[in-house]
Amino acid sequence: MKAEYDAILFDAGGVFLIPDPAVLAPTLAYYGAGSDHSLYVRAHYGAMAAKSRAGGGESDWDDYNRAYVAFAGVPDHEVDAAAFVLQRTRHAHLWRAPLVGSVEALRVLNERNVPIGVVSNASGQIAEILQRSAICQVGDGALASVRCIIDSDVVGVAKPDPKIFEHALPFFEGIDRSRIAYVGDSVTMDVEGSTAAGLIPVLVDPFNDAADLVDCRRISSLLDLL
């Protein structure tokens, strides 16, 4: 059977890592949020869909924050206060809690010799965090191996601008971009950006939040790619 994709590029936030519930759950509990960390996985995806539905770009997280705290269990009358604190607590370096299945999926892709890489809207920190959170590193090492980790802050262009993908494609020379998947969790940044770049968009949407927003392939976990 011919593989569906000749190579796969991945977003990092919401694909390998989410904002760390070990920090956010105690912070939001003050406003009535629940403490079960699975609630915070749910909250991330529900909030991403709310952000995409509102058309929010990389700098606009208001809809995300409000939906996130509501999914985490904050009651309506405390949503504004909790979202205010979330905006000031969640920062780039807290996107560090690994999602179940992501490491396993990368390992299997390595075993199958599928070329893989990372393209992330980040703050100059993402390669370091992917290493410390035991997800992957560029080239050979103890973790899953990727060809490149493109950080928007380092290259100076961010999704949804399709030009960010031009920084990754040289690592996949000889592979037609129309055969390269880009796996992300944002409709507005990932699906739209990768489509504009001529790649195949795949949306991580484990709770079916975005069924009405896109007509591309949606997966519930990276394990679905195998």
- CA 92 to centroid of chain Cα atoms: 12
Interaction of residue 56 with Mg ion, rule CB under 5 A? no
Closest CA to 167 of 154, 182, 180: 154
Interaction of residue 21 with Mg ion, rule CB under 5 A? no
Q: Which amino acid is at 60?
A: D
Interaction of residue 14 with Mg ion, rule CB under 5 A? yes
Q: Identify which range of 7-15, 59-67, 134-142, 199-207 contacts Mg ion by CB under 5 A.
A: 7-15
Q: SS3 of 73, please? A: coil
| Closer to Mg ion by Cβ: residue 52 or 82 | 52
Q: Which amino acid is at 215?
A: D
Interaction of residue 13 with Mg ion, rule CB under 5 A? yes
Q: Identify which range of 10-18, 82-90, 149-157, 201-209 contacts Mg ion by CB under 5 A.
A: 10-18
| Closer to Mg ion by Cβ: residue 31 or 118 | 118
- What b/e readout covers 89-98, taking b as 16+ CB neighbours within 10 angstroms? ebebebbbbe
- Rounded distance between C-alpha atoms, residue 190 and residue 197, angstroms: 10
| Closer to Mg ion by Cβ: residue 11 or 63 | 11
Residue 47 makes CB contacts below 8 A (sequence gap 6+) with: 63, 64, 65, 67, 68, 71
DSSP 99: P
Interaction of residue 185 with Mg ion, rule CB under 5 A? yes
| Closer to Mg ion by Cβ: residue 31 or 186 | 186
Q: CB 140 → Mg ion: shortest distance, Å?
A: 26
Which tokens is 63 given?
Answer: 């809809």
| Closer to Mg ion by Cβ: residue 48 or 74 | 48
Alpha-carbon dihedral sign for residues 210, 215, 220, 222: negative
Q: CB 29 → Mg ion: shortest distance, Å?
A: 25
| Closer to Mg ion by Cβ: residue 69 or 187 | 187
Q: CB 163 → Mg ion: shortest distance, Å?
A: 18
- Rounded distance between C-alpha atoms, residue 89 and residue 135, angstroms: 24
Interaction of residue 205 with Mg ion, rule CB under 5 A? no
Interface residues with Mg ion (CB under 5 A) are 11, 13-14, 185
